[in-house]
Amino acid sequence: MIRTTLAALMSYWRRNLLQLITLLAGIALATALWSGVQAVNAEARASYDAAAATLGEGRFDHLRAADGGSIDQETFVALRRAGWLVSPIVEGRINGVRVIGLDALTAPIGIAPVSLTEQADLGAFLSGGGQIFGRPDALAALEGTVEAELIADPNIAPQTLTTDLVFAQELLGREGEIDRLLIATVQPKQQATLAEIAPNLTRISAQSGSDIGRLTDSFHLNLTAFGFLSFAVGFFIVHSAIGLAFEQRRPMIRTIRALGVPLNILLALMMVELILFALIAGVAGVILGYFIASALLPDVAATLQGLYGANVSGTLAFRASWWATGLLIALGGTTIASVSAFLKLAKMPLLAGGQIRAHVMVAGRRAAVLAILAAACAVLAVILAATADGLVSGFALLASVLIGAALALPLILDQMLRASQSLSSGAKAQWFWADTRQQLPGLSLALMALLLAMAANVGVSTMVSSFRLTFVDFLDQRLASELYLTVEEDRAKEITGYLEPRVDAILPIVSAEAQIKGVETEVFGARVHSTQRDNWTFLDAMADPWDQVAGGAGILLNEQLARRTDTWPGAIVALGGQSFEVVGVYGDYGNPIGQAIVSEEVFAELYPEEIANNFGLRISVDQVDDLLSDLETQFGISSENVINQAEIKAFSLQVFERTFTVTAALNVLTLAVAGFAILMSLLTLAAMRVPQLAPVWAVGITRRSLGQLELLRALILAFFTILIAVPLGIVLAWVLLAVVNVAAFGWKLPLFLFPADYLQLAILSLLAAALAAFWPALKLTRLRPAELLKVFANER
Amino acid sequence: MNVRLLLFLLIWPTSIWAQGFAGLGTDAEGFSVPERGYVFDFPADHGAHPDYRIEWWYLTANMQDAEGRDYGLQWTLFRSALIPDEIDGQIFMGHAAVTTPDDHYVTERLARGSLGHAGVTAEPFEAWIDEWQMVGDMEVLSLKAGSDEFSYELELRNEGPLIFHGDAGYSVKSAEGQASHYYSLPYLALSGTLALPEGEVEVTGEAWLDREWSSQPLSDTQTGWDWFSLSFESGDKMMGFALRQTDGSVYTYATWIALEGETQAYPDGALSATPLETSQTSGAEVPTKWRVELPDRGVDVEVQAINPNAWMTTSVPYWEGPVTISGSHKGRGYLEMTGYE
């Protein structure tokens, strides 16, 4: 019996091969979406890691010669032999490009361009001939001057080349010399003290490289949230696909049961069938996700190697887990999506199965339930928006906004259609609107998918673009000077004296630890200059804040400090026994602690013992290279102590370009899925609609015109959905930037709007809807008149 | 002695030669190849042989604390040459481990010869990488290694003769004739301190130092290797290995070391090693209980891992850990298994 029943069930798919393919494709697409988003997320992470590695150059504590000179190799060996895991770095400039030599065998993970897992490369890297890694433009500077193999690598900072230590020493003519020693984060238990081994070295703590890290953490959190969102969209499509399959097999199930197959056996067999499909489609989906990601994303190969374990040693387990997650998503999604279909089937009276359910009959009751749920979500969202103060409540807000909007969608659309109906005149138009409303319950799931997809896309675009603007602004503000220079305190006077006539301005950067309103704060003394006036933007400020700071009575606070102490412009704070008026609050993205700025003179009074050894230099861009080489020859200041802000900015912009590519990939993918959901729903409805369309056809409306109306209907519904999706997406982005981010990191990212992007997305969504509706409409146009006539003859 | 390591160390230089000297390269290009009849010269041969591609100083030890709890220990320095005879072309890799019945601590170091933080000298004998070292006159050696988790400092005292494997130290590794130079110091008495996360432990025991060097010791068709060093309560010792081949067959060899230090070499086929039980380690699933037979000496023993999860999570992963012996002979020893992951 089991075999026969299974054969019967399968025979349905043989007769409806297209439907089988669409069901499999539905599950596969949902899985692909999930895998693709994971890849996209990982790609973004990898990009930022590269940025962090370059931007946060002082990620590791390191040792430097106290006199600023070089370290000899014997000291390095002595340290290693005393249990210090340190790794040598030598650097210098060739043709204006920064050359970094490192030892791949001892370098902390992620520093060297090759590692032990890439055996052949490591060998070539170490062998005498040399390999030099860098971006193509940096490599071009060496073209023809060295014998070494030049290898393009986008993960290396701009205008920087990385090569083996010994080879770099040869290139730079500095055999046996080391500039600094990176200290690995994990050290052996037994170790001699630094003073015993190398008293002439000083330990420099890692810079607060967490700045970039925390900023990008916030970005990843947001991307992860969208990863879940995309899963929700995928879930809708699986639901639609299964709904279709069950709906259309009702007559067949009735027949099988009437022939005596027990319900539980039938259900079990259908479940087995579904699990089989989910597995097949899941595998296809994971593979599809792989190809989508690798086709759409540039430079993703390395990331995928990590994810899929292709020829990276030791990642086999990870690879298995990757496949497992993909399949679990497919299986889990399918199971959850099919629960309601199975329940309906289980409750179905034996002989009632033949009737195709008229959705509209239960629509009234369903609408009431939806309205109550949506209202509950809305109330919850409003409460949470006002009170949310943690990550959990932030995500709860996100969830209630999304679920509420999705549930409310059919009701809102119904109201919009009702309004359109009352505005229209003529029998055909009246019928069109009424018929559209009648179809709404059947299409609502697909439209919810479109709503979520579109909202997710608007949200992602808004978030990424806002993030970019903020980040670039922030860099402009913080790296306004062309060059940043670090010198030893006792040479500061001499060097600034030398620089004075050669640069437009010298802006000392000096700071001290303090407490403001009980919060640990880093107080900076600023030489007020047009640099700050031109570049700094404030979240909240009084008029001419910098003049007030220069006047000595004003103080500027960063957002974190202002939020934590609830101190905003106009308030008075005490610092070192003096009172200052808060004249501005500025964004300080990524910084975990409080920060305040007073004028240079006030700072010197408060902290006379602090002497500036960091300086921002304003200089015209074309003089940068000359000044760099002069500093090196005159004072032996190596490039490690000079930061060229143009390089950093250019690099971070490139990182964003890559993020945009992945965002575009995500947009295309989610819209494709939503379009697919619409297609599935329309196909489900098509068969049921024949009895409703037949009378309309009979009164003289041609099939062609009916087809056109079908297409128009899909477009109108999509358009209405988009009208709701755009504001929803913006709300989504706002929740992430202004609520979740504040909860997670203590600062708010400003929200910017990008109408042109939204318009483009709207057009894409309409296109997706039109594509989805085209085939069902075409089928209607070609429906044989005999089928329509049958409606009047048959009892069905 | 470790196949994956051998392959690994061999692949490195091969690829360089293939790239740098396309067309020239056979495996041993420019490197010396082991030859039958090689006359060992000590102490010089305790030091490095940079004209050979690969080499190691491989020490394993079975130890007990005052309560009789078993411990195992490994200290290994590998040398791989990118360019024969040149210090620039020498790469060193150190592996250290301590195995208890419940835990297995592993750590790894890498270095290049030219910088000087790793190397080997023959006279006075010293093998070192960073703060790890094996130093002494081959009668008394001091041994040191550690990581952020564990460390050890031990003294080794040689109480027996130096043993040559194969044909007077010429050890054949395949039917095609790949070979290495191979000798051991299997009679090292050991004492010292292990510093483990749970505290310091005073231990005593027996260590076994393997010295081996070659330029092309493996055949293409060999996939992995099971190596046993067994010390029986009778005072006899045995070193045996089975090289697994792609067709499912094995190439075996054994050295029997009698109480007085007299040795007998057993060619392919005399030794048999059959897996009885496997365990899932933190890496691969490996056999952790073996039946080892050398009928000629009446050996039919079960070799059981003291801690089945002695997986070496190093750049090239493998299994290495202490074992107990039961059956026709009783005792302790060390087992190494490669090529399972």
Whether the CB of A85 is below 8 Å from some CB of chain B: the reply is yes
Residues 6+ apart with CB under 8 A from A608: none
SS3 A584: strand
pLDDT, averaged across chain A: 76
Asked if residue A259 has pLDDT above 80, the reply is yes
- Dihedral sign from CA coordinates of A252, A255, A256, A261: positive
DSSP B153: E
Choose, out of B112, B154, B194, the residue to mutate when testing the contact with A (most A CBs < 10 Å): B112
Pair of tokens at residue A733:
């982005």
Q: Quick one: tokens of A469? A: 């603007």
Give per-residue pLDDT as tens, B81-96: 877 777 677 889 999 9
Q: Residue A156 pLDDT > 80, yes or no?
A: no
Q: Search chain A and give the residue with CA nearest B314.
A: A314
Chain B residues near residue A123 by CB distance under 8 angstroms? 12-13, 15-16, 82
φ, ψ dihedrals at A348, nearest 5° = -65, 130
A126 contact B CB<8A: yes
Distance from CA of B328 to the nearest CA of A (A): 39
- Measured between alpha carbons, how far is A384 from A380 in angstroms, rounded to an integer? 6
The closest alpha carbon to A289, from A18, A646, A37, belongs to A37
At B24 the pLDDT is 26
pLDDT band at B218 (very low <50, low <70, confident <90, very high): low
The alpha-carbon gap from A31 to the nearest alpha carbon of chain B, in Å, equals: 29
Quick check: A127 contacting B, CB < 8 Å? yes
Q: What Cα–Cα distance (Å) separates residue B263 from each residue in A166, B134, B170?
A: 47, 26, 14
Of the candidate ranges A120-134, A775-789, B295-309, the one whose mean pLDDT is the lowest: A120-134
Evaluate if residue B13 carries a pLDDT over 90.
Answer: no
pLDDT tens string B272-295 = 999 999 999 888 899 999 999 999
Residue percentage of chain A with pLDDT more than 70: 75
Question: Whole-angstrom Cα distance, residue A326 to residue A324?
Answer: 5
pLDDT at residue B9 is higher than 50:
no
**B17 to chain A, closest Cα gap in Å:** 9
CB A176 within 8 A of CB A169: yes
Alpha carbon distance A640, A625 (integer Å): 14
B149 to A189: CB separation less than 8 angstroms, yes or no: yes
Task: Give residue-wise pLDDT tens across range A542-557.
Answer: 888 888 888 888 999 9
pLDDT at res. B292:
96
- Minimal CA separation from B15 to chain A, in Å: 6
Instruction: Answer yes or no: CATH 3.50.50.60 is held by domain B3-26+50-338.
Output: no
The pair of structure tokens assigned to A532 is 């700050």
pLDDT at A360: 44
A76–B115: do the CB atoms touch at under 8 Å?
yes
Buried b (16+ CB within 10 A) or exposed e, A3-21: eebeebbeebbeeeeebbe
pLDDT of amino acid B16: 31
pLDDT of residue B254: 96
Banded model confidence at residue B2, pLDDT cuts 50, 70, 90: very low
Asked if residue A750 has pLDDT above 50, the reply is: yes
Whole-number pLDDT of residue A315: 29
Across the interface, do B12 and A316 touch by the CB < 8 Å criterion?
no
Q: Which of A129, A188, A191 sits opposite B20 (nearest CB)?
A: A129
More confident residue, A619 or B21: A619
A197 in B contact zone (CB under 8 Å): no
**Considering only CB atoms, which residues of chain B are within 8 Å of chain A?**
8, 11-13, 15-16, 19-20, 82-83, 88-89, 91, 110-112, 114-117, 128, 130-131, 146-151, 195, 315, 317, 341
Kindly identify which residue of chain A lies nearest to residue B128, measuring between CA atoms.
A81
Q: Which residues contact B43 (CB under 8 A, 6 or more apart)?
A: B122, B123, B125, B138
Place of tokens 């003179």: A601
Q: Which segment of A550-554, B129-133, B138-142 scores lowest on mean pLDDT? A: A550-554
Query: What's the mean pLDDT when you consider all of chain B?
Result: 87
- Summarize pLDDT for A281-314 with one digit per residue, the tens: 888 888 877 776 666 554 433 333 333 332 222 2
Tell me the chain B residues in contact with residue A127 when contact means C-beta distances shorter than 8 Å: 16, 20, 82-83, 89
pLDDT band at B188 (very low <50, low <70, confident <90, very high): very high
Which residues in chain A touch residue B196, judged by CB atoms under 8 angstroms apart?
Answer: none
Contact B117 A186 (CB under 8 A): no
Residues in A touching B19 (Cβ below 8 Å): 120, 124
Mean pLDDT of the region A686-695: 77
pLDDT of residue A788: 81
ipTM exceeding cut-off 0.90 for this assembly: no
Query: Hey, where are the domains in chain A?
Result: 1-58+216-357, 60-206, 362-471+646-796, 483-619
Quickly state the pLDDT bin for B144 (edges 50, 70, 90): very high
Contact A457, A729 (CB under 8 A): yes
